[in-house]
Structure 1
């Protein structure tokens, strides 16, 4: 492409809204940002067309069953490769890397994949034998964090092909009105409470049940007004990830004597309401567990929290080490040290960090910077 920005980009991904999660938000924004530089077409799951970025053309494939999604997506990708002739074919995750490689080779385009940690470590012989080898064949492999780069290198991808482009975040234009925050607190019985916030899918890796068991009782004993506010639910369409249900977390809360100190709000898709929740909270808890074959690729929710001035307390595992700046946007503690995790939560409750400092860290992860980074790695 002679160092020129690609004129046409074909993005193939199953991870798009209406599915809910960090990968889905990332792929939506990736399409949106790339459309600022190129003509972008997307092959995505059924239901995505209604909420796609404005300047993006989207073709749908059935979400389920997975083999049907892959088959239909492959046929559509091959057709677009021949009829539209993109300059770059981009896989939004490892799942669609073979489709991107095949269609790119058909039309002489550049084959690129954006990888998350779980894309490489997923426990499946079929996936490891058929999918992972395609990562080595790609012209460029973009990864979401330093640890994911290490996993990609171990998987056999030459280091010269690998580049890190951190996921982005939507920076708020202004703080939420105080009356909105107060009304939210009053509605949910949170006035006068110390709010610990958890946002995200309730997967085994996220470790919320273990936090309720091993950290929350000591926090509540020291601060009886502490409330754990949970935004999210168990994923219905996640590939390979174990889940923790609301019921299992509630049962653990009852066993641990903190049932009155936890609230479940379910999934929140309204961005204004979610911003209000972030700004109403005192600390974001992110107790991601260290599971070797199910790593946390980055930790976008920690950046989202920082964008609203909310500090994060997390274990130093996986890509979380890139998403939290210890002493700036929160604290990182050693893996499995639930006592230290609780102590850091209490410290932030009692001695809040300066919001401006936390938001300053988040600014470097703006979505437009993400888009520039991805485009640069395609050239």
Structure 2
């Protein structure tokens, strides 16, 4: 989310003066053209108070034309500040920004989102949730998150080193990247789909990058230990390898590019939607197709038959068969098609769509 907001500010700064209020920890990577005002992130109530004060101050002194909240959480701040100076009030919203069921949030935040002049949804699902929450359809625009397209593939020697270091040289790699939450469904994939995949492809290795979140507003987690225990019980304990969190961009790129495919077994859970599925776009940018359940915003992030395969939610037999089909059929073509699909989400394209979401006479 932080990376998305920085890219949004950076792209908009090509067309307008941009001031941004955000967590003090997020200042280091800020774009040069953007003026930044910091507010400590923790505790959250303090961040909201200080960010709100900064927004009111900017509204009075700078008088911007648009005040854009980076998520639904800061939408009330954007609304109040915009009303102080006559600016357009907008928010870029994710699935959980609308779907959160907490009574205080629904009583205070959802009405504020309804009153915004523009609601930019990250997916078709999020747009539909916004309509169901009472946001007028004419206020809503859909702009999918962007992705950084690699300038070139990783050097083969770097990929070989990554494989050797992690003892993966002789494996067909199924990659999972992301937080280990209940919604992401990795434990269920290991239990219900991985055994059939391993039976057909004994060299298959599920490589997991990520960990259970320690600081999340509401996500329920799946621990490494619980996933390994399920793998052991299913007889595939030797076919799963945890790499933890990788922050080095080059190493993460090597992981994507040495993988045969990316598995994305997101579950369909009431009140906990997958707003988009950014990791599937990141995988496609590196030429790695994804196999996933067709749920939530994932259907916008994977093009069936081009950047991967989509199967009905909770059908683990179909999921396993889709994985095997991708592994066994024209891997070079899958890679080429996935890369082509990812080009639709390049950050400059994202910036153009964000700009188009506002009235042309403003930005």
TM-score by structure 2 length? 0.96
| CA distance in structure 2 between the aligned counterparts of 1:184 and 1:258, rounded to whole angstroms | 23
Partner of 2:170: 192
Partner of 2:349: 369
Query: Which ranges in structure 1 are unaligned for 5 or more consecutive residues?
Result: 1-22
User: Number of matched residues?
Assistant: 357
Shift of the alpha carbon at 1:147? 1.3
* Partner SS, residue 68 of structure 1: helix
Shift of the alpha carbon at 1:257? 2.0
* Partner SS, residue 257 of structure 1: coil
Partner of 2:247: 269
Counterpart check, 1:325 vs 2:339 = no
* Partner SS, residue 240 of structure 1: coil
Partner of 1:176: 154
* Partner SS, residue 241 of structure 2: strand
Counterpart check, 1:235 vs 2:213 = yes
Partner of 2:111: 133
CA contact (8 A) 1:33 1:368 kept: yes
| CA distance in structure 1 between the aligned counterparts of 2:230 and 2:210, rounded to whole angstroms | 17
RMSD: 1.2
Partner of 2:273: 295
* Partner SS, residue 337 of structure 2: helix
Q: Which moved more, 1:347-356 or 1:90-99?
A: 347-356
CA contact (8 A) 1:311 1:353 kept: no
Partner of 2:338: 358
Counterpart check, 1:59 vs 2:37 = yes
TM-score by structure 1 length? 0.92
| CA distance in structure 1 between the aligned counterparts of 2:225 and 2:101, rounded to whole angstroms | 26
Equivalent positions of 1:144-293 (< 5 A) are 144-293=122-271
Shift of the alpha carbon at 1:58? 1.8
* Partner SS, residue 363 of structure 1: helix
| CA distance in structure 2 between the aligned counterparts of 1:166 and 1:203, rounded to whole angstroms | 22
Shift of the alpha carbon at 1:353? 5.1
| CA distance in structure 1 between the aligned counterparts of 2:224 and 2:6, rounded to whole angstroms | 27
Shift of the alpha carbon at 1:306? 0.8
* Partner SS, residue 86 of structure 1: coil
* Partner SS, residue 221 of structure 1: helix
CA contact (8 A) 2:2 2:26 kept: no
Per-residue CA deviations over 1:145-194 (Å, capped at 9, x if unaligned) read 11111111010011000011111111111111111111111111111201
| CA distance in structure 1 between the aligned counterparts of 2:358 and 2:170, rounded to whole angstroms | 50
Partner of 1:89: 67
| CA distance in structure 1 between the aligned counterparts of 2:31 and 2:210, rounded to whole angstroms | 23
* Partner SS, residue 28 of structure 2: helix
CA contact (8 A) 2:206 2:240 kept: yes
